[in-house]
Amino acid sequence: MPTSAEKEYRNLIAIDETVVKANKKKYYLYSAVDVERNELILMRVYTTRNYLTTKSFVKEVLNYCENKPKFVVDKASLAD
The per-residue pLDDT for 6 is 82
78 inside domain: no
The per-residue pLDDT for 36 is 94
Return d(Cα 76, Cα 63) in angstroms, integer.
Answer: 24
Residue numbers of the domain that contains 57: 12-72
How many other CB atoms are found less than 10 A from the CB of residue 54?
Answer: 20
Total structural domains within the chain? 1
55 inside domain: yes
The per-residue pLDDT for 69 is 95
The per-residue pLDDT for 66 is 94
3 inside domain: no
**Spans of the chain, pLDDT less than 50:** none
Q: Please tell me the pTM assigned to this model.
A: 0.84
The per-residue pLDDT for 77 is 57
CA dihedral 76, 18, 3, 52 (to 10 degrees): 70
The per-residue pLDDT for 78 is 55
54 inside domain: yes
6 inside domain: no
40 inside domain: yes
